[in-house]
Chain A
Amino acid sequence: MTSLPKPLPAPDPATSEYWEGAKQGELRLPKCRDCGKFHFYPRTLCPHCGSVNLEWKNCSGRGVVYSYTVVHRAPSPAFEADVPYVVAVIALEEGPHLMSSIINVPADRVRVGENVRVTFRSAGSGDEMLPMFELG
């Protein structure tokens, strides 16, 4: 049985570097050259100071679980084979929070505050990759 298509990220000029990094196994975040802060999600200006003087940096890919939920009821048929699965907010070492999944662990093992590291999983067809996280 072929799997149903999941909603895929549609990169735009402000975000394509992020998704290109994911294809290469790198978590890249925008950093402001003026105030020195990272931000997420990627956009055309720094939400901390308004500067458009941004650069992309590879991150450590390490962080902690800020919060999580175990999804038992899939939002669409494409996710039905995955339940129960973990949707989490990760607090990255560099500061920003981002939403992701925690994989390669039973869903009931995940706790707030646990250390996680990034890994990449195919987003479906093609070579698109989604950043996800594992405990450890």
Chain B
Amino acid sequence: MKKIFTIVIFTENKIGLLSRITSLFTQRHINIESLTTSESEYTGIHRFTVVIHEVEDKTKKVVKQIEKQVEVLKAFCFTDEDTIYSEIALYKIRLDETIDRVALEAVVNTNGAFIKEEIGEFLIIEKTGHKEQTHQLFEELKPFKIQGFVRSGRVSLSRTFSTFSQHLQYLETHSKEIITQ
């Protein structure tokens, strides 16, 4: 049965790695639901967060293929239960005379969102949360005529102790051994 998996990949910061990694999904006809990359807590090491909807076996195999790439340090695979995750969404509303400002602010408040900025006749609302929650707000803002909407990819951290720092330490000691041999 297919379910949502979050694949977290730690890589060297190199041109082309994104493409090398995404092509592994393409080859297996796996659609990427969302993808986020940024520098990780370790200088020079990048973290990819890839969300896919797939069966477990195929997911585990693609994770091994990712880890096989020579500039990938480590790849982990999590279910939603294993992680704390979030997305951020921004909504743009035009404040014309038909907008009931009080009702709008009520929707914003009940959804745990906030008004990030008011620029002239536009309002930018920000909401973080799971996709269902940002979608819920989207639905509720529809009557106020949404002028713009954007949702980020997922960011996530595991609920458990991260083994990556240990792994990194092992890799560094191990590669030093090879180099000084």
Chain B binds chain A? no
